[in-house]
Structure 1
Amino acid sequence: MWLLGKIKPQVSAVRHPRTQVVQEQPPAGRPTGKAVWYTPAAVLGDAVGVALPVYLAGALMGGAHAVANAAVAAACWLLVRASRNRYAERRLGEYGAFRPALQDWLVLVGTLAVVRAATGEESPFFLALAALVPSAPTSAVVHALIHRHLAARRHGGRTVRRALVIGEVSAVDGLVSHLARRTDHEFAVVGVCPVGDGESCASAPVTARLDAEAPSSMSADSAPVLEAARQLRVEAVLVVPGPGLTGTRLRRLSWALHGEGCRLVVVPGLTEVAGRRVGVFSVAGLTMLNVAPPLRRGFAALLKTVIDGLGAALLIVLLAPVFAAIALAVRLDSPGPVVYRQTRIGRDGVPFTMAKFRTMVADAERLRCQLAWTNEQDGRMFKIRRDPRITRVGRVLRRCSLDELPQLFNVIRGDMSLVGPRPPLPDEVARYDEVELRRLAVKPGLTGLWQISGRSDLSWDETMTLDLRYVDNWTPSADLEVLVRTVRAVMTGAGAY
């Protein structure tokens, strides 16, 4: 989790609250488990994705052991994936697909290198390595499709687990509200059990209450909770610890719930922190969470810098004819410079000059003041769906995001990255609060979560949430996933205007 961890966001989840399953009980026997074909599809996709390229490579070289090599490679790949719980029902469709596939692929390469040395295999090394390359993207695509199917089912209120929430009134209301705003998770809250006599504003009904003071007997807590769990047929109990729900009460409550075979989930209150950054350990009988800091230095940061430089240089060379064609079209369409330069704010608040193909009339900045009252954004940005300043060629360039191509030179200069938050204007940054300033902790990007999640269709709060999620949880593999998804976003043109 959410990109970058759950670093890939579902914008629809932000905008379509899960309400259809919160206050209604489904018919008895209604299936809530995942589709039975998820595991076979994942296994088959992984096996074919590695076996077919290895076999074709061996056959092209005229090797006598092409089938055997393909079988060994497929068996190793499936063993690696299975040993890392990639086929477990609780994991299928829940997490990002690209980062796990890349991690497992590195293990596969190491494993097959050992097998190769042990068996004395003499096929060309680089050919063998190239044959293994398709396995990771093929696996990632299969698991991404499973994730999309699961997300669609959950958006419709299926494949969810009925949950009861316990905690202080304010904590319960906050958790229920947060879960209801999104549909990319497994829980549908069907009831709440507040601690104390406060009035709950949660959309789910209050099915029981716990005393604010510690009870004299264990059953004083467990009895009402178990009765509510049985009545609502819940599959999980979500507990938010607090002053009225101490560790001792929680421990005793867990005994009763586990005795009934009910899942207990403790919600610590952390938000937008990728699972890879959180570790659980015990000290003096206390369970603690260790939250690792975001990646800022080390090999991952160096890898990002190298990929930015090499990737931008390669794209500039490959897209040189496109640059020339766009420049000619902009020049012929309207008077003014081909490239529009604008001051933007980069990492740590350092200003830089960003380049774009001009998509507006030459005096667009002067006209902006006259159009301020037509702004359709609810926050710091200025956006108009049918902006009269945009030229004919500019509309095409914006829809296809081709106007952003000159920013590749900003990436070469080190002002920007291939992936990162949207580069803000100085007047936007001047109105940032302390939380919003955190998005300047990394370089702005040519593309990012904002680009692939709806762009200008997003509200300011949604945009800020995505940017902060990226700042806190980015990884090189998450960047790769964003780049892949950018291609689809550019082709559909969603939110581009």
Structure 2
Amino acid sequence: MMAAQLLWLGGGNAAVPSGANAFISNEVSYWLVSGVIVAGWAWMLSLFDTRDYRILGSGFEEYRGVFNASLMLAGIVSIFAYLTAFELARGYVLIAFPVGTVALLLSRWIGRQWLVRQRKGGNLQARVLLVGSRYSVLDLNRDLSRREAAGYNVVGACLIDGKSGELDPNSPDFLPGTDVPIGGNPEDLAGSLDAIGADTVVIAGNDVTSTQWLREVGWDLDPDRHFLIVAPGLLDVGGPRIVTRPVAGLPLLHVDSPKFTRMGLLLKRAFDVLVSGLLILVLSPLLVGTAIAVAATSPGGVFFKQERVGYSGNRFTMWKFRSMRADAEEVLKKLQSERRDAGNDILFKMKDDPRITKVGKFIRRYSIDELPQLFNVFGGSMSLVGPRPPLDREVRQYEDHVHRRFMVKPGITGLWQVSGRSNLTWEETVRLDLYYVENWSMAGDFVILFRTARAVVASEGAY
């Protein structure tokens, strides 16, 4: 606010003029106005819980809260100024709120980057005791371990369907494939937390033995030192689809069914056409240069085209710059029988694939080989963001539930790309694609595009 005042009004003691019918008859200094708005902004951010420890560092939810709080304040100030004839300078308002909102979002993003680095280094993490059946605890541990940035460090597991006993970090009994010790007593979780030095208990909601037991767990924990989290048996359901409604003391979770409105699909298509067309124009020198490099360094065509399966199971031709030898498909049959160090049972990948040319290795590293797919997007067979476009031979191996990925157009990028690309297992790839399909939003697409740019620059999981 102070910056807006200096930019628009200078450093003097400018005052808001009083209109003939103004509610406030005396002139008011812009310094006072700025101070009041800053105080109101801080109050509005608190009202939207943007400083809650469960929100700080969460990413999209935190940014959305900051944006909504800022938008609400701008609306309140505008309505107040109109109703009271308080003649705020339009330039002051047009500078103050957009610049202030961007500054807030930038500061939150910088703070989140610092927090993520700290958590990945083992600091500022919640020390978690998992409680539930062996299979539920394994699933929870896998999911929490995958997201180090979330700040949950699993240090112990208490099995409801297994043995109870003293929880010891040096215990010979661990969760399979992990270094998480098993032990503790479900009837004394506060003592189990203290024994392992944990501060947070995460209970698999589908393994709760009784509501009375869960209530007693909450009573036994020290509210100043311990935190209780219940993980419901809902997999891969986005936050906007979940609404909690207490009824007769029961926290009922209302889960909306996945749906795609006509307006949402129209907006996505308009965005695809606009951005893909713009990128084709801007990147045309790079496209021409890459085509020349591919043609000059290895025999074969410039482009690699392949039939893929897209929206509603329809086939389409996908275009790429050729990054492999001309006989790559014939060599593939031999390579599929060999042991490889990447990919999975359905998606073939090799870190040192002998079929890739020297130019191909470079353009694959930075995803330049994918750029011709912009023409697929512009033509309507693909989208900028969506599930990975599969081959027909891959589709023949799909389980029934995997076909839900054909509810939307395949994308040049997607959750599968920004979450590891070639490093993912097949199950993880499917899970990410289905999560995208069932929880799609334009805001989510923007986040994926931003993360894609960052992943491409770092060449994460690309080979």
The match for 1:151 is 116
Q: Do structure 1's residue 421 and structure 2's residue 387 form an aligned pair?
A: yes
2:198 is the alignment partner of 1:237: no
Q: In structure 2, what is the equivalent of residue 314 of structure 1? A: 278
Aligned position for 2:233: 269
Amino acid at match of 1:119: F
- CA contact 2:272–2:377 (8 Å) conserved in 1: yes
Contact 1:167 1:194 in 2 (8 A): yes
Name the SS of the counterpart of 1:238 in structure 2: strand
Partner of residue 120, structure 1: 87
1:362 match: 326
Identify the residue that residue 341 of structure 1 maps to in structure 2: 305
Matched residue type, 1:448: G
Pair 1:330-2:298 in alignment: no
What corresponds to 2:8 in structure 1?
58
- Is the CA contact (8 Å cut-off) linking 1:98 and 1:137 kept in structure 2? no
Check conservation: 1:51, 1:73, Cα contact below 8 A.
Answer: no
**Which secondary structure state, in structure 2, belongs to the residue aligned with residue 373 of structure 1?**
coil
The equivalent of 1:23 in structure 2 is none
Counting aligned pairs with the same residue, the percent is 36
Q: Normalization by structure 1: what TM-score?
A: 0.74
Matches of 1:304 and 1:182 in 2, distance apart? 28
Does residue 204 (structure 1) correspond to residue 169 (structure 2)? The answer is no
Point out where structure 2 has 5 or more consecutive residues left out of the alignment: 17-29, 165-172
Residue 161 (structure 1) aligned with residue 126 (structure 2)? yes
**SS of aligned partner of 2:317:** strand
Post-superposition offset of 1:309: 1.6
Secondary structure class of the residue paired with 1:421: coil
Once the two structures are superposed, the pairs formed by residues 439-450 of structure 1 within 5 Å of their partners are 439-450=405-416
* Amino acid paired to 1:94: S
What is the match of residue 435 of structure 2?
A: 469
Deviation string for 1:397-433 (max 9, x for gaps)? 2222122112112112222111122211111111111
Most deviating of 254-263 and 415-424: 254-263
CA distance, structure 1, for counterparts of residue 452 and residue 142 of structure 2: 30
2:268 counterpart (291, 304, 319)? 304
Mark the CA change 1:186 to 1:488 in structure 2 (over 3 Å): closer, same or farther: closer
Distance 1:244 1:85, change over 3 A: closer
Cα distance change of structure 1 residues 391 and 81 upon mapping to structure 2, 3 Å threshold = same
Secondary structure of 1:207's aligned partner? coil
The aligned amino acid for 1:370 is: K
C-alpha change, 1:129 and 1:368, in structure 2 (3 Å) is farther
Residue by residue over 1:100-127, the C-alpha shift from the partner in whole angstroms, topping out at 9 and shown as x without a partner, is 4554454455345436645334546xx9
Q: Contact 2:174–2:182 (CA<8 Å) still a contact in 1? A: no
Alpha-carbon distance in 1 for matches of 2:381, 2:66: 31
Partner of residue 490, structure 1: 456
8 Å contact kept, 2:365–2:459: yes
Partner amino acid for 1:147? Answer: R
Distance 1:362 1:243 in 2: 55
Greater RCO (CA < 8 Å, at least 6 residues apart) = 1
Where in structure 2 are the equivalents of 1:81-160 lying within 5 Å? 81-96=45-60, 98-104=63-69, 106-107=71-72, 109-111=74-76, 113-114=78-79, 117=82, 118-121=85-88, 123=90, 129=94, 132-133=97-98, 135-160=100-125
Give the 3-state SS of the residue equivalent to 2:148 in structure 1. Answer: coil
Amino acid at match of 1:436: V
After superposition, the Cα gap between the structure-2 partners of 1:73 and 1:254, relative to the gap in structure 1 and judged at 3 Å, is closer
1:183 corresponds to 2:148: yes
Answer whether contact 1:165 1:192 (CA < 8 A) is retained.
yes
Structure 1 unaligned segments of length 5 or more: list them: 1-49, 210-220
Residue 46 of structure 1 corresponds to none
Distance 1:366 1:287 in 2: 58
Q: Distance in 2 between matches of 1:205 and 1:150?
A: 29
Q: Distance in 2 between matches of 1:442 and 1:189?
A: 36
Aligned Cα root-mean-square deviation (Å): 3.5
Answering whether residue 347 of structure 2 is matched by residue 381 of structure 1, we say: yes
> Which moved further from structure 2: 150-159 or 70-79?
70-79
